[in-house]
Structure 1
Amino acid sequence: MTTDFSRMWIDGAFVPGEGTPRAVLNPTDGSTIAEVPEAGSGQVQQAIAAARRAQPAWAALAPVERAAIMQRIAGLIRDNADALAKLVVREQGKPITEARGEVGGAAEFFSYYAEFARRIQGEILPSDLPDEQIWIQRVPVGVVVGIIPWNYPAALVSRKVAPAMITGNTIVLKPHEETPLSALFMARLMAEAGVPDGVVNIVTGDGATVGAALTSNPDVNLITMTGSVPTGKKIMRTAADNLVPVSLELGGKAPFIVMEDADLDIAVAAAVTSRFMNCGQVCICAERILVHEAVHDEFARRFVAAAKKLRVGDPMEDATDIGPKISVAELEKVERLTAAAVTAGAEVLLQGGRPDSAPVEGGNWLTPTVLSVEDSDMEIMQYEVFGPVVPLMKVRDFDHAVKIANASAYGLSAYLFTNDFRRIMRAIHEIDFGEVYLNRIGPEALQGFHTGYRNSGPGGDDGVHGLESYLRKKTVYANHSGRAQVGLMPYGAH
């Protein structure tokens, strides 16, 4: 399938942008993949207006009819999986093996949420009056704005669009300006699947212009965004002017706790995968590893040895473990955090950084770095690195580990490796994070609830609880007595 990336998708048509096209760069070699349109503020308004017009008819369809279209989308994603996976690699840089998994997930979101066609339930409550029932219905919010980051440019399209569609909403989605190609590719698949005009709209452009126009529009009923903490806070402030609800999944600083009774083979393998997948560019990555003092040195030795074996190379090759960073700016940010940690006293256990010989010339390459730290207040222990650099810290016991883990502005994902059932139960109660993984790592499950605390954002995605964001409640007092009735006021007042 060929895709014209010079046009975005508004109201069922592929249209050019009003602004100067933006180059999308391949992080593997720095080459330009495509010139992508920049939407103007007028086009943002057109997309929202199209979604507003389309929403009543879309919501009026039987849910199974909406689900049938969604299953066609899932099938088309699977039919075009190889092309889409290669496109993910070209624009984002993750290894092809990971990109194939992402595309599989992109299809699964549509299949999974299509199954809710017969599962969105209301409630019937008894009334205080005779011959009357109280119904609480779950109804669509209306028009949704979805904003996604660059680290999962295909899967996150589905993560926002699929729940919006099954609940009878329409959506305007903005992919990140550095990785818009997967979304535009998927727009073609949605059009082929028969998505009615205006139900899904994909507009491209930067956050300052397009994102701001979307989130400040009073005709929007929900904003769902995955991205950075500063952007999330800005969106909340903007949305407050129109009292628009928001669901935000922001950054993470996941603690990875290893106790002295853990199976070190399993813990080391899990830590390596969690830290270095997608070049460390995942919000649930192990961002700080806390190891019991009794096994710290042995864990560190094995972890460094395993990290040394990882292959940094061309992400189109199946043998590659780590691809390039998404951009030069992101690469330099990781370098600054690493240098600051070393200056502050971190010991280098594995010296990474830019390789002497680049796997592919022009790419944004970083090899793994492992640091040993003693101070949990260091910047690298508090701020999200989002790259192939990880600090290890020795902890005295479980209480010490939990204290350090919770002393964070973030609260998304946390990991614990132990075989002590009492510690496991304590962790469930005491680790103050939205997701806790016990003796395993992510990714999160479709039927779970991907949610965080504190700066990781309010709201969340996935499962029945993620679906709740896309629904609002309507209370109906259904009187069938045939006579006028007046309800009692609360607390016995008349």
Structure 2
Amino acid sequence: MQRYSLYIDGTQCDSASGQWFHSDNPFTGKPWAEIARGNESDVDRAVQVAHRAFRSGPWKDLTPSARGQLLCRLADLIAENASRLAEIEVRDNGKLFAEMHAQLQYLPQWYRYYGGLADKVQGAVIPLDKKGYFNFTRREPLGVVAVITPWNSPLMLLTWKLAPALAAGCTVVIKPSEFTSASTLEFVELLSAAGFPPGVVNVVTGFGNEVGSALVTHPLVRKITFTGADSTGRKINEQAARDFKHVGLELGGKSPNIIFDDANLDDAVNGAVSGIFAATGQTCIAGSRLLVQAGVHDEVVQRVVALAKTARMGDPMHADTQVGPITTPPQYEKVLSYIGVAQAEGASLALGGGAATRAECGSGWFVEPTIFTGVRNDMRIAQEEVFGPVLSVIRFQTEDEAVAIANDVRFGLGAGVWTSDIGRAFRMSERIESGTVWVNTYRAVSYLSPFGGYKDSGLGRENGIDAITEYLQTKSVWINTGAPTGNPFVLR
């Protein structure tokens, strides 16, 4: 088995405990790697190193342009290693090689974008209402950032945080999911090759209660950025608030994918299937609630079921596989339990409804693509995030009803609208309470466009120009150019 150590101060190192834990291949259901089990002592060591790298040494002395050049070199190395890193991600999380490879080929664009943005961070000269003073602002990096990533797209979601943090001049300690740590540990070796100074980026692997909590509460960490379950995000936010730390949270969703009766149904049906069964439904933006207008409801359901039936399951490394395994045993059990909940609530099963027993699925953790009809929006299956290949179909009559159903949930990350009416497209994009609204498409993302949630789907934004500001703080500088000091007991 492959063995992966911690990465601190530019080198691989053993954990303080000397213990290891297994990483399982979701397709085979068997361990393939051993990962160092970090603890609070390792966290403190990594944070101290990152703090020292931030306060002194070559990283602090680099100009913003030089930081940008390092990010661009890293982009080139990622492009050269895309296939190798994608294979490791597939072995670790079971997603399709086709998708992981496409993500890895796209990731260099983030590092090039933020590499170019690094020396575009500017303060401002403030035209004051007071004579005899010169006032300007500086945008300065926050300091040490704790980056906590999930298991579904480890390197892509790491990149959304790491690229702007480094462009801003911060240093980083990464805690990857204990289920998918290998690709992150392979990836950080590229930073050394790109020329990043030791200590700028560090990785402590392990479990949330042993590593994650220690990172969140460490006094030298100034920001925590996290993607994952809203229950964990809530705990992180509460802990961070005690020390007034900055927080960025992306916490999933229960996204409505809305098909109106004037939509191009060929496109809408493809979008519905893509929204929930691509990535085996293990994506924060999954269109898990399919809202269909009554006039086309029956036809859409028939066509979605027919298309979903053709989905090829099996080895995620095979080019023709379309639906891979669930990444972890706990998630596998959770998805199956929600299928039982939906049936108990009275939803009608139109497709799937259990574990996949096809020969091509081997001994992996597969769930059949599952579709429920007759779903009410107050059912648990419509309100709670399943994070698996389970679709709830909800009928609606009017545009107002569609908006009411779409917004009647505590999440607000993504939404889809399928219509040929441009006026409706604009109205819906304004009325839906969601950080992203796709019209006549779904699951489109870019390094240029901000991403984040409303309501319980999180705080802050990733990607685009907005993201770098999440890692900066503003300082106001006043210079007296000749104003009299005046009465010392009166505000100037």
Category of TM-score, reference length = shorter chain: over 0.9
Partners of 1:177 and 1:204 within 8 A in 2: yes
1:29 aligns with 2:28: yes
Residue in structure 1 matched with residue 411 of structure 2 by the alignment: 410
Residue in structure 1 matched with residue 293 of structure 2 by the alignment: 292
1:307-318 equivalences in 2 (<5 Å): 307-318=308-319
Q: 1:13 aligns with which of 11, 14, 34?
A: 11
* Distance in 2 (alpha carbons) for counterparts of 1:90 and 1:102: 15
* Distance in 1 (alpha carbons) for counterparts of 2:439 and 2:125: 38
1:355 aligns with 2:356: yes
Residue in structure 2 matched with residue 47 of structure 1 by the alignment: 46
Aligned-pair CA distance for 1:88: 0.8
For residues 8-55 of structure 1, the C-alpha deviation after alignment (integer angstroms, 9 at most, x for no partner) is 111112101123201000000012111100112111001001111101
Residue in structure 2 matched with residue 167 of structure 1 by the alignment: 168
Partners of 1:59 and 1:167 within 8 A in 2: no
Q: Which amino acid aligns with 1:292?
A: Q
Residue in structure 2 matched with residue 381 of structure 1 by the alignment: 382
Aligned-pair CA distance for 1:129: 2.8
Q: Quickly say closer, same or farther: Cα 1:4–1:369, change in 2 above 3 A.
A: closer
Partners of 2:50 and 2:199 within 8 A in 1: yes
Partners of 2:258 and 2:291 within 8 A in 1: yes
1:114-129 equivalences in 2 (<5 Å): 114-129=115-130
Q: Which amino acid aligns with 2:53?
A: A
Aligned-pair CA distance for 1:360: 4.0
Aligned-pair CA distance for 1:303: 0.7
Residue in structure 1 matched with residue 480 of structure 2 by the alignment: 479
* Distance in 1 (alpha carbons) for counterparts of 2:487 and 2:430: 43
Q: Which amino acid aligns with 2:28?
A: D
Aligned-pair CA distance for 1:6: 2.6
Aligned-pair CA distance for 1:184: 0.2
Moved more, 344-353 or 138-147: 344-353
Q: Which amino acid aligns with 1:132?
A: Y
1:390-469 equivalences in 2 (<5 Å): 390-469=391-470
Aligned-pair CA distance for 1:326: 0.5
Aligned-pair CA distance for 1:484: 4.3
For residues 288-315 of structure 1, the C-alpha deviation after alignment (integer angstroms, 9 at most, x for no partner) is 0000000111111111111011101100
3-state SS, counterpart of residue 39 of structure 1: coil
Partners of 1:107 and 1:158 within 8 A in 2: no
1:197-276 equivalences in 2 (<5 Å): 197-276=198-277
Partners of 1:5 and 1:184 within 8 A in 2: no
Q: Which amino acid aligns with 1:164?
A: A
Q: Which amino acid aligns with 1:47?
A: A
Q: Which amino acid aligns with 1:311?
A: R
* Distance in 1 (alpha carbons) for counterparts of 2:458 and 2:99: 26
Aligned-pair CA distance for 1:132: 3.0
3-state SS, counterpart of residue 258 of structure 2: strand
* Distance in 2 (alpha carbons) for counterparts of 1:263 and 1:70: 42
Residue in structure 2 matched with residue 95 of structure 1 by the alignment: 96
| Consecutive unaligned residues in structure 1, runs of 5 or more | none
Moved more, 353-362 or 262-271: 353-362
Q: Quickly say closer, same or farther: Cα 1:488–1:379, change in 2 above 3 A.
A: farther
Aligned length: 489
Aligned-pair CA distance for 1:424: 1.8
Moved more, 304-313 or 105-114: 105-114
1:304-343 equivalences in 2 (<5 Å): 304-343=305-344
* Distance in 2 (alpha carbons) for counterparts of 1:339 and 1:81: 39
Q: Quickly say closer, same or farther: Cα 1:372–1:489, change in 2 above 3 A.
A: farther
| Consecutive unaligned residues in structure 2, runs of 5 or more | none
TM score, norm. by length of structure 2: 0.96
* Distance in 1 (alpha carbons) for counterparts of 2:295 and 2:247: 45
Residue in structure 1 matched with residue 303 of structure 2 by the alignment: 302
Q: Which amino acid aligns with 1:7?
A: S
3-state SS, counterpart of residue 126 of structure 2: strand
Aligned-pair CA distance for 1:131: 4.4
Partners of 2:2 and 2:33 within 8 A in 1: no
Aligned-pair CA distance for 1:352: 4.0
Q: Quickly say closer, same or farther: Cα 1:194–1:418, change in 2 above 3 A.
A: same
1:129-140 equivalences in 2 (<5 Å): 129-140=130-141
* Distance in 2 (alpha carbons) for counterparts of 1:109 and 1:4: 29
For residues 89-119 of structure 1, the C-alpha deviation after alignment (integer angstroms, 9 at most, x for no partner) is 1001011100111212332221121110232
Q: Quickly say closer, same or farther: Cα 1:319–1:280, change in 2 above 3 A.
A: same
RMSD (Å) for aligned C-alpha atoms: 1.8
Aligned-pair CA distance for 1:489: 11
Aligned-pair CA distance for 1:86: 0.6
* Distance in 1 (alpha carbons) for counterparts of 2:28 and 2:358: 13
Aligned-pair CA distance for 1:486: 6.0
For residues 332-369 of structure 1, the C-alpha deviation after alignment (integer angstroms, 9 at most, x for no partner) is 11111111111211111112422233424321011201
Q: Which amino acid aligns with 2:449?
A: G
* Distance in 2 (alpha carbons) for counterparts of 1:129 and 1:410: 46
Residue in structure 1 matched with residue 72 of structure 2 by the alignment: 71
Partners of 1:282 and 1:386 within 8 A in 2: yes
User: What is the identity percentage for the equivalent residue pairs of Structure 1 and Structure 2?
Assistant: 37
3-state SS, counterpart of residue 221 of structure 1: strand
Aligned-pair CA distance for 1:4: 6.6
Q: Which amino acid aligns with 1:323?
A: G
* Distance in 2 (alpha carbons) for counterparts of 1:487 and 1:375: 69
Q: Quickly say closer, same or farther: Cα 1:385–1:486, change in 2 above 3 A.
A: farther
TM score, norm. by length of structure 1: 0.96
* Distance in 1 (alpha carbons) for counterparts of 2:446 and 2:456: 22
* Distance in 2 (alpha carbons) for counterparts of 1:87 and 1:101: 14
